[in-house]
Amino acid sequence: MHLPNKNLRQEGTPLDSLFRLLDPFCIGGSLLAVIWLNQAHLGERAWLSAAVAIAAYLFVAEVFGLYRPWRGDTVERELCCVAAAWTGAVGLFFATIGLFDFNIGIVQHHLLAWFTITPLLLISVRVVVRNVLQMLRARGFNTRTVAIVGVNELGLQLARQILASPEMGLKLKGFYDDRSVARSFKLPDDYHQRLGSVDELLKCAQQGDVDAVYVTLPLRAEERTRHILDQLSDSTASVYLVPDLFVFQLLHSRWVNLGGLAVVSVFETPFYGVDGAVKRLCDLVFGSIILTLLSPLMLLIALLVKLTSPGPVFFRQRRYGLDGREIFVWKFRSMRVCEDGPTIAQATQGDVRITKLGAFIRKTSLDELPQLFNVLFGNMSLVGPRPHASAHNEQYRGRIQGYMLRHKVKPGITGLAQVNGWRGETDTLEKMERRVECDHQYIREWSLWLDLKILFRTIFVVLSRQNAY
């Protein structure tokens, strides 16, 4: 069978066009506000600078995918994308004026105020528009009536998502299925019941009572799906296929357009495009700040390590990094030995290999501070799955299904497993399994807000000194 060469794309919406108009007004308006508040004069060069900034932002926003439908996506992701787009636009702005040696015509403190106020205004406009849309949809405006084909677990999962997200503006009409009640999944009593067969759904769609249909049949039911699509083609309702990929252990799945064919990733990293840029930018900014603040303490620890026991100040160990590539992780030496071979014994409570100073810096996690250099070098992140010794990776990859998937992101100084109680020695297989489950959850649910929460909770985990020895 010949497959048509069609590209998978997201259609634009009037809301996207609205933001393409509002964003330039926000950028120009914030500059006018700064000039007006300071009772300054806005000359021709300043206006030209504003035009360059607007052009830079619109370009970067398109590259970052900001002007796409955000319906159903989290507000945090949208606002992070706005902030990242403005940061990139500022960089492009300075690169442009530097290339052409252009005098921007704006004094320095006015420029700083403009670049600070603008992202706040851009974000505020998006929040206001979101709230207005939610309010309108709650009152029945800008909504779509949808139906689900397939009385099964996936259909129920989709229904729960629709009912739990009223901001999407979707009104669930009910379920439809050609199978008998005895052969179908039993729906909970508090949910929309099945309303009939696909033929009855077709009549509703032809009468305009249904705007969109979600087909939630299993992948193996290809003939049934084809037959249902043939029936629904005699209506103007939008039809969506919802594949039952939840039967797999998904790790940040997403649709990808590959040469015109739509494919879905099953095991993938969340750090593509703007998300990867935001993650790396936060690592550089926060990592540099923390390293600067703690550098006197690190110098003191280095001196004490050298004075209290023979051996090097730093301990370097091979561990698996992003995509399983081997990296060297730095720590302050806390033991009398520097093991990095094919067999490594985990540190245990009362371990005779640990020095007196080493016991203290391990309890307080101060031995991990040199990993800030790993973060700045780019082979680690502030937050992510904790890197295990290469020997331990080889030991557990054959015993825990999906163990190596934790390496789809950079390892971190702290992680979700550590703040959830799975820190320290993993003397049983179950403990390592719980740690790996947390690592998978982090990859599936990553957001900038989640990183900030983990960093905040890490402070209390370190102070508690639980499972640290």
CATH assignment of the domain containing 243: 3.40.50.720
Task: Classify 355 in phi/psi space as left (phi over 0), alpha (psi -120 to 50) or beta.
Answer: beta
Co-location of 393 and 283 in the same domain: yes
Helix (H, G, I), strand (E, B) or coil at 385: coil
Co-location of 125 and 149 in the same domain: no
Domain boundary among 107, 122, 138: 138
Co-location of 439 and 293 in the same domain: yes
Co-location of 386 and 453 in the same domain: yes
DSSP 253: -
Residue 448 lies in a domain: yes
Co-location of 415 and 366 in the same domain: yes
Please check whether residue 383 is in contact with residue 412, taking contact to mean a CB–CB distance below 8 angstroms. yes
Cα angle 436, 441, 444 (rounded to 5 degrees) comes to 130
pLDDT along the chain (469 residues), means of 10: 42 67 90 83 80 90 78 74 88 84 78 90 89 75 83 84 76 84 69 77 85 85 86 82 68 61 69 78 90 93 89 86 87 75 59 81 87 93 89 83 87 91 77 90 86 90 69
Residue 253 lies in a domain: no
Please check whether residue 35 is in contact with residue 43, taking contact to mean a CB–CB distance below 8 angstroms. no
Domain boundary among 111, 138, 165: 138
Residue 8 lies in a domain: no
Please check whether residue 96 is in contact with residue 72, taking contact to mean a CB–CB distance below 8 angstroms. no
Helix 75-99 crosses helix 44-63 at what angle (to 10 degrees)? 130
Measured over the CA atoms of residue 150, residue 154, residue 158 and residue 159, the dihedral's sign is: positive
Co-location of 173 and 72 in the same domain: no
Which residue's structure tokens are 């670049």?
115
- H/E run at residue 419: helix 416-419
Domain span at residue 92? 14-138
Co-location of 444 and 300 in the same domain: yes
Please check whether residue 376 is in contact with residue 288, taking contact to mean a CB–CB distance below 8 angstroms. yes
Co-location of 207 and 240 in the same domain: yes
Co-location of 50 and 99 in the same domain: yes
Task: Classify 4 in phi/psi space as left (phi over 0), alpha (psi -120 to 50) or beta.
Answer: beta
Domain boundary among 101, 119, 138: 138
Q: Tell me the DSSP string of 171-197.
A: EEEEEE-SS-GGGSPPPPTTSPPEEE-
Residue 31 CA to residue 104 CA, distance in Å, equals 13
Residue 229 lies in a domain: yes
Q: Tell me the DSSP string of 296-349.
A: HHHHHHHHHHHHHSSS-SEEEEEEE-GGG-EEEEEEE--BS----SS--PPP-T
Q: Percentage helix, strand, coil, to 5, in the chain? A: 55, 10, 35
Residue 257 lies in a domain: no
CB contact set of 32 (below 8 Å; sequence gap of 6+):
42
How many structural domains is the chain composed of?
3
Co-location of 278 and 239 in the same domain: no
Residue 218 lies in a domain: yes
Co-location of 390 and 293 in the same domain: yes
User: What pLDDT, on a 0 to 100 scale, did the predictor assign at position 373?
Assistant: 94
Co-location of 289 and 370 in the same domain: yes
Residue 263 lies in a domain: no
Residues 298-337 as b or e (16 or more Cβ within 10 Å = b) = beebbeebeeeeeeeeebebbbbbbeeeebebbbbbbbee
Residue 116 lies in a domain: yes
